[in-house]
């Protein structure tokens, strides 16, 4: 049975980036996204323990500029492609605009500022969570 429930998420930090205009942001990090900083709230600093330069992360963001009413799109805004449900695309416009970004930690500053690359999120994007990339040969500690 589907019920309508509401959940609250609080940003653990924010993206600081040279990308300030959504139209300048590449569609994917691998398509020329710049380095950026994930600035973590003071109360979340202990959660960064174990992250070091070179770590590969999945950064989950709230795409605050997205259109939450969009349910179908032409993939990559290519009108020659058929309309497709957003759940079958990587469109930022969707009912819950959660961004998924794979990035590598370049440096850690002040114990709370993760310099990462690439990151295609615009400046001021709320960060919901950070997770490690799991590699098949790695021993998982979590």
d(CA 72, CA 5): 23
Residue 22 has pLDDT above 90, yes or no: no
Give the model's pLDDT for residue 31: 65
Residue 26 has pLDDT above 70, yes or no: no
Residue 10 has pLDDT above 90, yes or no: yes
Instruction: Report CA 81 to chain centroid distance, whole Å.
Output: 26
What is the mean pLDDT of the segment spanning 6-20? 94
What is the mean pLDDT of the segment spanning 9-29? 84
Using CB atoms within 10 A of its CB, is residue 42 exposed (0-12), middle (13-18) or buried (19+)? Answer: exposed
Spans of all domains in the chain: 13-132
pLDDT tens digits, residue range 48-92?
Answer: 999 999 999 999 999 999 999 999 999 888 899 999 999 999 899
The sign of the CA dihedral 116, 119, 124, 128 is: negative
Domain 13-132: give its CATH superfamily: YaeB-like (2.40.30.70)
Residue 29 has pLDDT above 90, yes or no: no
Q: Which two tokens stand for residue 47?
A: 């959660």
Give the model's pLDDT for residue 23: 72
Residue 32 has pLDDT above 90, yes or no: no
First-to-last alpha carbon distance for the chain, in angstroms, is: 32
pLDDT tens digits, residue range 88-138?
Answer: 998 999 999 999 999 999 999 999 999 999 999 999 999 999 999 998 776
d(CA 18, CA 31): 16
d(CA 61, CA 116): 14
Question: Beta-strand (E) ranges in 8-135?
Answer: 13-16, 36-40, 56-62, 72-73, 84-85, 98-109, 113-117, 126-132
Residue 27 has pLDDT above 70, yes or no: no
């Amino acid at each position: 049975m589907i019920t309508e429930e509401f959940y609250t998420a609080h940003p653990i930090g924010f993206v600081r980036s040279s990308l300030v205009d959504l139209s300048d942001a590449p569609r994917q990090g691998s398509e020329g996204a710049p380095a950026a900083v994930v600035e973590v709230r003071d109360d979340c600093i202990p959660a960064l323990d174990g992250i070091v330069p070179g770590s590969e992360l999945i950064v989950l963001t709230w795409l605050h500029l997205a259109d939450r009413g969009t349910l179908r799109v032409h993939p990559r805004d290519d009108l020659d492609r058929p309309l497709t449900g957003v759940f079958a695309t990587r469109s930022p416009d969707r009912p819950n605009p959660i961004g998924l970004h794979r990035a590598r930690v370049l440096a850690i500053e002040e114990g709370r500022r993760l310099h990462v690359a690439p990151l295609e999120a615009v400046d001021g994007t709320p960060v919901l969570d950070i997770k490690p990339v799991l590699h098949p040969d790695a021993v998982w500690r979590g």
